[in-house]
Amino acid sequence: MINIKSKEEIDAMREAGRISAKALQLTGAQVRPGISTLELDQICEEIIRLEGAVPAFKGYNGFPGSICASVNDAVVHGIPSAEIILQEGDIISIDTGAIINGWVGDNAWTFPVGEISEAKARLLAKTEECMWAEIDAARAGNHLGDIGHACQKLAESAGYGVVREYVGHGIGHMMHEEPNIQNYGKPGTGPLLEPGMVFALEPMINMGTADVVDGLDGWLVSTADGQPSAHFEKTIAITDADPIILTQ
């Protein structure tokens, strides 16, 4: 069952969204060659806690970090580490969320480290475009499949692979609520979208094949072909007009 949130509940979710977005933006501003992903994690946790919130990821199913830090061919769920030092030309997906007043926010962005190749810049731009296309499809009267289709069409026409095994999700009091939101699909299929549904939309797009492999730590997901992957995410609410971006 997909939870429908009232206007008041959606308003209450804005604070979790605001803190999640602030933490992501300020942490992203620290991305540079020479910094470790563990340092980024510490920066992010401090920002979230200074706001009086709790990092949503820390301890989630045992995840040790406040961010997922996924570099280059890492798709999602990278564990922050002092050993992973960013280098000029890398890309890093930072995914983070905050819990406050019992509500969760969740968002991600892929940042360039210094100067990146044109091919990586194109991947980032296209994946961000996929995210906005998903948000634009998140409208009452559309179907869930329209969201995935909007992403798949853009990504595959650019020659990229859409990750199948990991998906977006409903969000509210819990970080992961129903439904799972595939980043691929057929228009007009799946549940009808209604005002009050709140979703974390998060395309994961690979430069090469869509296939991914799981890491030995039980968390890290990487591309099967070793090519780079990008990931952008926002928490949004469906209304009877334009979708509202909660992680603003």
Name which of 200 and 212 has its Cβ closer to Mg ion: 200
Name which of 24 and 84 has its Cβ closer to Mg ion: 24
**Partner residues linked to 180 by β-bridges:** 169
Q: Nearest approach, Cβ of 9 to Mg ion (angstroms)?
A: 19
Name which of 38 and 200 has its Cβ closer to Mg ion: 200
Q: Nearest approach, Cβ of 247 to Mg ion (angstroms)?
A: 10
Name which of 95 and 116 has its Cβ closer to Mg ion: 95
Q: Report the distance separating Cα 147 and Cα 190, nearest Å.
A: 10
Task: Kindly report whether the peptide bond that precedes residue 179 is cis, defined as omega within 30 degrees of 0.
Answer: yes
Query: Which of helix, strand or coil describes residue 204?
Result: strand
The binder of Mg ion chosen from 154, 162, 200, 207 (CB under 5 A): 200
Q: Nearest approach, Cβ of 118 to Mg ion (angstroms)?
A: 29
Q: Report the distance separating Cα 178 and Cα 160, nearest Å.
A: 27
Q: Which stretch binds Mg ion (CB under 5 A): 28-36, 117-125, 138-146, 192-200?
A: 192-200
- Burial letters 209-237, b for 16+ CB under 10 A, else e: ebebeeeeeebbbbbeeebbbbbbbbbbb
Name which of 68 and 155 has its Cβ closer to Mg ion: 68
- Burial letters 147-166, b for 16+ CB under 10 A, else e: bbbbbbebbeebebbbbeeb
Q: Nearest approach, Cβ of 200 to Mg ion (angstroms)?
A: 4
Q: Nearest approach, Cβ of 34 to Mg ion (angstroms)?
A: 28
Q: What x/- string results for residues 100 through 139 when contact with Mg ion is judged by CB under 5 A?
A: ------x---------------------------------
Query: Which of helix, strand or coil describes residue 187?
Result: coil
Name which of 23 and 116 has its Cβ closer to Mg ion: 23
- How many residues interact with Mg ion (rule CB under 5 A)? 2
Q: Nearest approach, Cβ of 167 to Mg ion (angstroms)?
A: 9
Query: Which of helix, strand or coil describes residue 242?
Result: coil
* Contacting Mg ion within 207-236 (CB under 5 A): none
Name which of 107 and 116 has its Cβ closer to Mg ion: 107
Q: Nearest approach, Cβ of 174 to Mg ion (angstroms)?
A: 12
- Radius of gyration over every alpha carbon of the chain, rounded to an integer in angstroms: 17
Site of interaction with Mg ion (CB under 5 A): 106, 200
